[in-house]
């Protein structure tokens, strides 16, 4: 339910089926409501469902707010974008706080969590940059706190670190760093993960934009997807200990200054060469760090280039593929905005290149046009198919000429070619998949040769015009 759904609903208990009503709960709620001044009641909007009373919105302007005890759940967006709020006391009796409940409360600093709360979403305080302290009741059976940081009861899982922390030492009791546990802790500059930690969950350090260095403890075995996503200042190299056997290739996505991933030589699952991450046998290239610049030659041992392996490597200008590669994963070269050429050894059995553009071996499918190429481009005459995402993010491409041999266009084939002004088709209207031209703000006209069939006034929403070359 959205916040708008709660508007103009006073905090009251609507009539329900008497057979389903808990008399004690109803009496308790009516008593609590009766004890609240009318002006306070008007600040809260609620909805009931059997024995659950959900607080859906707060429209007051107090800096300190106590959430009433008859509430059982604080819904998502209940306090969204409340910039007068500095302190929240969640009353005993409340059992659940949902994702984004206090999102974008720019001045919120302190939250008191009662003994009754047993279901807490760590995303509840999304975008609360001044959050300083989360204090949990001593007798809460599910959660605990130490130095203002939220943990599970036994303090083996670190659940939420307040956003305003600039430095922090993770206790030795911690074995798991939870999902988004340090999310948006933009003041953190450096962090040492102790040897007690076994698992770093997905998005654990999401958006820690000032984080420049991280030491990963030797006890870590798992690092999840996007664990360090958008740690823009993570600089130089990151060391992966020997015990890590589950490392998501996208763990360091959007870490644009990271230029080396260094794996311990004794790691049984992964390896690295020249700062690039591979499987142990170096047959699969898993991830090239985004800070790598210039040209790069893929080692001859590689047969598989993983999904998104070079994603967002904005400083790469050329990638050379040796003759043994038999599979290139989806989005392998996405958003490589400076990439001028992908070259393939002539001995490769699956792929080839022509003028720096990647094709299948027979040159019937255009697989990847380097995003750094500029100006106009004419697709070769023998091409039958334009692959998925083939021209994605080619922001400097202005014109494309498509031969009459092309019969199909893959999904998102020309997405976000933001300077593409015209496409010229020599043949019949090709079959097209999902959203081939999304994000092309300057593409006003698609031209097609006179006498060709299948063309209408618009092609995938873009106006067409007869072309007489």
Instruction: For 262-301, write each residue's pLDDT tens digit.
Output: 999 999 999 999 999 999 999 999 999 999 999 999 999 9
What pLDDT sits at residue 268?
98
Q: 206 pLDDT band (50/70/90 cuts)?
A: very high
Q: 417 pLDDT band (50/70/90 cuts)?
A: very high
What pLDDT sits at residue 157?
98
Q: Are strands 341-344 and 246-247 parallel, antiparallel or unpaired?
A: unpaired
**Mean pLDDT computed over 250-264:** 97
For residue 405, being part of any structural domain is answered with: yes
**Mean pLDDT computed over 93-109:** 97
What pLDDT sits at residue 380?
98
Which of 3-7, 65-69, 195-199, 389-393 has the weakest average pLDDT?
A: 3-7
Is pLDDT of 4 > 70?
no
Distance between CA 321 and CA 143 in Å, rounded? 51
Q: For 426-430, which contacts have Cβ atoms below 8 Å and span 24 or more sequence positions? A: 426/401, 426/402, 426/452, 427/402, 427/403, 427/452, 428/404, 428/452, 428/453, 428/454, 428/455, 429/453, 429/454, 429/455, 429/456, 429/459, 430/402, 430/406
Tell me which residue of 374, 330, 322 sits closest to 350, measured CA to CA: 322
* In the chain, % of residues over pLDDT 70: 91
Is pLDDT of 7 > 70?
no
User: What is the residue whose two structure tokens read 């490597």?
Assistant: 313
* In the chain, % of residues over pLDDT 90: 87
Phi and psi, residue 35, nearest 5°: -75, -15
**Mean pLDDT computed over 440-448:** 93
For residue 442, being part of any structural domain is answered with: yes
Instruction: For 328-368, write each residue's pLDDT tens digit.
Output: 999 999 999 999 999 999 999 999 999 999 999 999 999 99
What pLDDT sits at residue 122?
86
Instruction: For 163-186, write each residue's pLDDT tens digit.
Output: 999 999 999 999 999 999 999 999
SS (H, E, C) the chain: CCHHHHCCCCCCCCCCCCCCCCHHHHHHHHHHHHHCCHHHHCCEEEEEECCEEEEEEECCCCCEEEECCCCCEECCCCCCCCCCCCEEEECCCCCEECCCCCCCCCCCCEEEECCCCCEECHHHHCCCCCCCEEEECCCCCCEEEECCEEEECCCCEEEECCCCCCCCCCCCCCCEECCCCCCCCCCCCEEECCCCCCEECCCCCCCCCCCCEEECCCCCCEECCCCCCCCCCCCEEEEECCCCCEECCCCCCCCCCEEEEEECCCCCCEEEECCEEEECCCCEEEECCCCCEEEEECCCCCCEECCCCCCCCCEEEEEEECCCCCEECCCCCCCCCCCCEEEECCCCCCEEEECCEEEECCCCEEEECCCCCCEEEECCCCCCEECCCCCCCCCCEEEEEECCCCCEECCCCCCCCCCCCEEEECCCCCEECCCCCCCCCCCCEEEEECCCCCCCCEECCEEEEEECC
**Mean pLDDT computed over 77-103:** 96
For residue 92, being part of any structural domain is answered with: no
Instruction: Look up the domain containing 418 and give its range.
Output: 374-469
What pLDDT sits at residue 114?
97
Is pLDDT of 14 > 70?
no
pTM value?
A: 0.87
**Mean pLDDT computed over 453-457:** 96
For residue 127, being part of any structural domain is answered with: no
CATH of residue 385's domain is: 3.80.10.10
For residue 144, being part of any structural domain is answered with: no
For residue 387, being part of any structural domain is answered with: yes
For residue 165, being part of any structural domain is answered with: no
Report the domain count for the chain: 1
Is pLDDT of 450 > 80?
yes
What pLDDT sits at residue 343?
98
- Tokens found for residue 204: 């654990």
By the 8 A CB rule, do 342 and 333 touch? yes
For residue 453, being part of any structural domain is answered with: yes
Instruction: For 21-46, write each residue's pLDDT tens digit.
Output: 344 334 334 434 444 444 445 589 99
Instruction: Determine the distance from the C-alpha atom of residue 208 to the mean position of all C-alpha atoms in its chain, rounded to a whole number.
Output: 13
Is pLDDT of 214 > 90?
yes
């Amino acid at each position: 339910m959205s916040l708008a759904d709660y508007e103009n609903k006073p905090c009251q208990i609507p009539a329900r089926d008497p057979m389903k009503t808990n008399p004690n709960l109803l009496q308790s709620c009516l008593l609590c409501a009766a004890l609240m001044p009318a002006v306070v009641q008007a600040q809260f909007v609620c909805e009931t469902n059997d024995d659950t009373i959900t607080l859906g919105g707060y429209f007051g302007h107090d800096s300190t707010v106590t959430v009433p005890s008859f509430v059982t759940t604080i819904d998502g967006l209940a306090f969204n974008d409340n910039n007068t709020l500095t302190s929240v006391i969640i009353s005993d009796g409340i059992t659940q706080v949902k994702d984004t409940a206090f999102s974008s409360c720019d001045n919120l600093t302190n939250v008191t969590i009662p003994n009754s709360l047993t279901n807490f979403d760590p995303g509840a305080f999304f975008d609360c940059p001044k959050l300083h302290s989360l204090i949990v009741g001593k007798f809460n059976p599910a959660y605990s706190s130490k130095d203002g940081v939220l943990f599970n009861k036994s303090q083996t899982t670190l659940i939420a670190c307040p956003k305003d922390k600039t430095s922090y030492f993770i206790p030795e009791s911690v074995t798991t760093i939870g999902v988004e546990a340090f999310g948006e802790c933009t003041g953190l500059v450096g962090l040492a993960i102790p040897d007690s930690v076994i698992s770093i969950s997905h998005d654990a350090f999401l958006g820690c934009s000032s984080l420049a260095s991280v030491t990963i403890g030797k006890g870590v075995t798992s690092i999840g997807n996007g664990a360090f996503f958008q740690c823009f200042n993570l600089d130089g190299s990151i060391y992966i200990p020997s015990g890590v056997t589950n490392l998501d290739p996208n763990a360091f996505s959007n870490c644009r200054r990271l230029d080396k991933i260094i794996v311990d030589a004794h790691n049984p699952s992964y390896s690295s060469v020249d700062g690039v991450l591979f499987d142990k046998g170096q047959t699969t290239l898993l991830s090239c760090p985004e800070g790598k610049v210039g040209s790069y030659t893929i080692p001859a041992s590689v047969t598989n280039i993983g999904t998104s392996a070079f994603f967002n490597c904005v400083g790469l200008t050329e990638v050379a593929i040796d003759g043994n590669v038999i599979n290139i994963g989806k989005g392998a070269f996405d958003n490589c905005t400076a990439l001028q050429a992908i070259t393939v050894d002539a001995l490769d059995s699956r792929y080839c290149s022509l003028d720096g553009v990647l094709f299948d071996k027979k040159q019937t499918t255009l697989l990847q046009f380097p995003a750094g190429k500029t100006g106009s481009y004419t697709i070769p005459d023998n091409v039958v198919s334009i692959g998925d995402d083939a021209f994605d993010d080619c922001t400097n491409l202005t014109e494309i000429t498509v031969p009459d041999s092309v019969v199909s266009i893959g999904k998102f084939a020309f997405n976000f070619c933001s300077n593409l002004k015209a496409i010229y088709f020599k043949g019949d209207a090709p079959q097209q998949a999902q959203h081939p031209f999304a994000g092309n703000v300057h593409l006003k006209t698609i031209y097609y040769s006179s006498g060709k069939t299948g063309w209408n006034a618009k092609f995938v929403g873009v106006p067409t015009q007869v072309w007489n070359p």
